[in-house]
Chains A and B, each alone.
Chain A
Amino acid sequence: MTGGLISEVRRSSMRSAASPAVRPARDHIPGEIGIWLFVAGDLLVFSAFFIVIALGYKTQIELFTQARATLDMWVGVLNTLFLLTGSWFVAKGVESCRETHGVSSHRYFALGILCGVLFVANKSFEWGLKISAGITPLTNDFFMYFFVFTGIHLVHVVVGLGVLLVARGVSRRPVLRAKDIRTVESAATFWHLIDLLWIVLFSMFYLL
């Protein structure tokens, strides 16, 4: 995930010179500047969310500790695994588009999408269990933050799935132009952002 982001940048700078579709290695930014502005903006807002959670924890340590113990950590671990694996497939998809563009390109994206769908299914399962046990966002402040912030993240995942579908569609084209590579890279960057945000949410809700 963060590794995904970093390796994405590194890979692109190493390989872009070999590909006629992308700009020279030195000044190549994966995707385009706009998507990085978006990433920076979203990180800024999520940082505010993380501060809200931390302040909640600080003011109600006992309640947060007790409520946290009721979460099934392995559901969170499984979701992390889905997103990390999905990010790996997406990174492979981008690599495939840049280098040996062929059938494998869109298959990697399809596998990335599958991982995203599994994440959504697992999250729905986790939420369903909690709600059927009578735990809702109104139960206490911990679950209010839990449902709302993981819900906002879930909105990102759903949007990300749409973005990956676009990337998959583009990667099916027989010949990829520089514009197509840019689209695929921007989509991957957004997907890695989702991954990064989840890692922090996972740590704050399940581990700390």
Chain B
Amino acid sequence: MQPTKSDSLFRKSMKFCAWSGYMAVIFYIIGGVILGGMTPPLLNAGESPEVFVAKITENQFQLQIASIFMMISFALFGSFGAGIAAQTRRFETNPVFSYVQLVFSAGGMVIALLVAFAWALMAFRPETYHPTVVMMFTDFAYFCALFSVPLFGGWCVMIALPILLAEEGREPFPRWVAYANLWAALLYVPGQLILFFKDGPFAWHGFVALWIPYIAYFAWIWIMSMALIKVANAKGNEPLDTRLSAAAVTA
């Protein structure tokens, strides 16, 4: 890894970004899995609007708390993505891919936040809204999360490209990380199927369109967070004073 010269903050900053990723996954598990009913899905794309309202009313408080956790989780995508872009930037003389990554990570964070917004509105006053409006909020949440394949897939590709195109020994991350990103990008593709199906494995509650992209996405965050921690701990990236004292001991 490239030495950071006198940047005593680098290791801590990278760890902060990596932990943003880990915490995003943990907060999603609390919000989206344990409380929120997003995965596994509490609702079913093929059900009637009245069933939606009944289920949401029954679990209203739980869903509201879940929205808060999801909001925190998705907001953390920003610092997580910035950490990846910062590491990419260190290996660029004229920054290009790092900027592109920032655009994708900002876009990804905003779209993900809309998932939490829609989820919160869905649980805000289901008894007052017309049932089809409640249903539309649910649809909107899943569409933001799953239909946005070119955004989240594109983000992964923009992380993979500077690694694969780099000269030997000048890669910002290990080369296998690039392939993990490409694999994740391909796994998001079934998310686009939700536009065509309201039932079965390709609907937004289905195995292929929901579970595969979701597992791939959060596994990808975990993998990239691990990669950032590795960068932070890499030799040459320790604060200058630590290196100086180590050199003094050796001398």
B191 to chain A, nearest CB (A): 11
Is B182 in the interface zone, CB < 8 Å from A?
yes
Q: A140-162 CB contact bits vs B (8 Å, 1 = yes)? A: 01001000100010011001000
A49 to B208, CA, bound (A): 8
Is A208 in the interface zone, CB < 8 Å from B?
no
Q: A29-45 CB contact bits vs B (8 Å, 1 = yes)? A: 00011110110011001
Within the complex, which residue of A34, A148, A159 is in contact with B193, where a contact is CB–CB below 8 Å?
A: A148
Known contacts A48-B212, A52-B208, A156-B186, A148 near B179 by CB under 8 Å: no
Question: Is A38 in contact with B182, judged by CB distance below 8 angstroms?
Answer: yes
Is B117 in the interface zone, CB < 8 Å from A?
no
The 8 closest A-B pairs by CB, nearest first: A34-B179, A34-B176, A38-B179, A41-B183, A38-B183, A34-B175, A37-B179, A52-B201
A4 to B110, CA, bound (A): 44
Is A128 in the interface zone, CB < 8 Å from B?
no
Known contacts A52-B207, A138-B196, A156-B186, A179 near B179 by CB under 8 Å: no
Is B81 in the interface zone, CB < 8 Å from A?
no
Given contacts A32-B175, A38-B180, A38-B183, 20 further A-B contacts (CB under 8 A): A33-B176, A34-B176, A34-B177, A34-B180, A37-B176, A38-B179, A38-B182, A42-B183, A42-B186, A45-B212, A48-B208, A48-B212, A137-B196, A138-B196, A144-B202, A148-B190, A148-B193, A148-B202, A155-B189, A179-B168
A35 to B163, CA, bound (A): 13
Q: B167-208 CB contact bits vs A (8 Å, 1 = yes)? A: 010000001111110110011011001001100111000011
Classify chain B's interface size: 20 to 34
A31 to chain B, nearest CB (A): 10
Interface size on A, residues (CB 8 A): 22
Known contacts A45-B212, A49-B208, A179-B168, A152 near B180 by CB under 8 Å: no
Number of A-B contacts (CB under 8 A): 51
- Chain A residues closer than 8 Å to B179, beta-carbon distance: 34-35, 37-38
A32 to B171, CA, bound (A): 15
- Chain B residues closer than 8 Å to A152, beta-carbon distance: 189-190
A172 to B176, CA, bound (A): 26
A137 to B198, CA, bound (A): 12
Closest A-chain residue to B200, C-beta based? Answer: A144
Question: Is B187 in contact with A45, judged by CB distance below 8 angstroms?
Answer: yes
A-B contact pairs, 14 of them (CB 8 A): A32-B175, A34-B179, A38-B179, A38-B183, A42-B183, A45-B212, A48-B207, A52-B201, A137-B196, A141-B200, A144-B197, A148-B193, A148-B208, A155-B189
- Chain A residues closer than 8 Å to B190, beta-carbon distance: 148, 152
B167 to chain A, nearest CB (A): 8
A155 to B177, CA, bound (A): 22
A141 to B177, CA, bound (A): 37
A74 to chain B, nearest CB (A): 28
Of residues 85 to 99 in A, which have CB atoms within 8 Å of B's CB atoms? Answer: none
- Chain B residues closer than 8 Å to A38, beta-carbon distance: 179-180, 182-183
Closest B-chain residue to A49, C-beta based? Answer: B208
- Chain B residues closer than 8 Å to A33, beta-carbon distance: 175-176
- Chain B residues closer than 8 Å to A37, beta-carbon distance: 176, 179-180, 183
Closest B-chain residue to A183, C-beta based? Answer: B164
A203 to B2, CA, bound (A): 50
A1 to chain B, nearest CB (A): 19
B151 to chain A, nearest CB (A): 17
- Chain A residues closer than 8 Å to B200, beta-carbon distance: 141, 144
A23 to B176, CA, bound (A): 18
B53 to chain A, nearest CB (A): 27
Q: Of residues A33, A41, A48, A141, which shows the largest number of chain B Cβ atoms within 10 Å of its Cβ?
A: A41
- Chain B residues closer than 8 Å to A45, beta-carbon distance: 187, 212
A42 to B182, CA, bound (A): 10
- Chain A residues closer than 8 Å to B178, beta-carbon distance: 34
- Chain B residues closer than 8 Å to A35, beta-carbon distance: 179
- Chain B residues closer than 8 Å to A137, beta-carbon distance: 196-197
